[in-house]
Amino acid sequence: MTYHLAGDSTVAPMTGDGPMAGWGHFLHEYVDAPVRNLAFGGATTESFIASGSWGELIAGAGPGDTVVIQFGHNDQKEPDLLGSRAGYTDRLRRFVAETRERGATPVLCTSCERRWFDGGAITPTHGDYPNAVRDLAHELDTGLVDLNVFTTWLYEDLGDEGSRGLLSHYAPGETRDWPDGLVDDTHFRIEGARKVASFVARSLRALERRDGDRPARGAEIT
């Protein structure tokens, strides 16, 4: 059994010297199966197909495997091609169907929320895209991990100051990749990536327990 990850930079492996990383980089620390992470920065459902990454991923997936799919951050920037109830969900639907054709189990994820505070609350930034994923999971009877809900709760629970250490806020000279410093409320640093990876792992185990050690179609973890 292998976990195969499809997604954007919030899932992708660490590049350079870090400490910026997607949650997929650390998933192997919390699961008892190999993790194959093909996510990459800037990916949309369309570019993941066009780059050949989806073909590579699905060719390596087989019976008993799980394919975890998280897109939306970049799809929302191309609403004409990748509208939430059009091109975006059309491609997610294809991913689910082709995963099942390989005998593997698909799990959809909503996008991790951006850490944009308005007072003590996080401002939603993904529009209809998370709801479109929730509705699609229900329609296709597919497992769902609601990272949009989880990360919103996580940031609000820690508060504006406490949650800052989960995202890519670097002081000048702190990291070689950003010598002048960085304030980025979308991408995780190691601490945040590990928090999300731990939640994804617990969610996957819960889904698996609901369907005899395989993700339960239609089960939702929030």
Q: Euclidean distance between the first and final Cα of the chain, in Å?
A: 24
Instruction: Please report the pLDDT score of residue 212 as a whole number.
Output: 67
CB 197 within 8 A of CB 109: no
**Alpha helices (H) in the chain, listed in sequence order:** 45-50, 53-59, 87-101, 129-140, 147-163, 190-209
Please give the Cα distance from 195 to 34 (Å, whole number). Answer: 19
Angle at Cα 177 formed by Cα 199 and Cα 147, nearest 5°? 20
Kindly report, residue by residue over 112-155, the tens digit of the pLDDT: 999 999 999 999 999 999 999 999 999 999 999 999 999 999 99
Q: Name the CATH superfamily, with its identifier, for domain 3-221.
A: SGNH hydrolase (3.40.50.1110)
Bridge partners of 121, per DSSP, are 118
All structural domains of the chain with their residue ranges: 3-221
Distances (CA, A) of 16 to 48, 69, 89, 174, 188: 21, 24, 32, 14, 14
Bridge partners of 4, per DSSP, are 36, 67
CB 147 within 8 A of CB 109: yes
* b/e 160-185 (16+ beta carbons within 10 angstroms → b): eeebbebbbebeeeebeebeeebeeb
Kindly report, residue by residue over 186-213, the tens digit of the pLDDT: 999 999 999 999 999 999 999 998 776 5
Q: Which two tokens stand for residue 193?
A: 């990536």
Instruction: Please report the pLDDT score of residue 17 as a whole number.
Output: 66
More confident residue, 128 or 18: 128
What global pTM score does this model have?
0.93
Instruction: Please report the pLDDT score of residue 167 as a whole number.
Output: 97
Q: Is the peptide bond before 19 cis (omega within 30 degrees of 0)?
A: yes
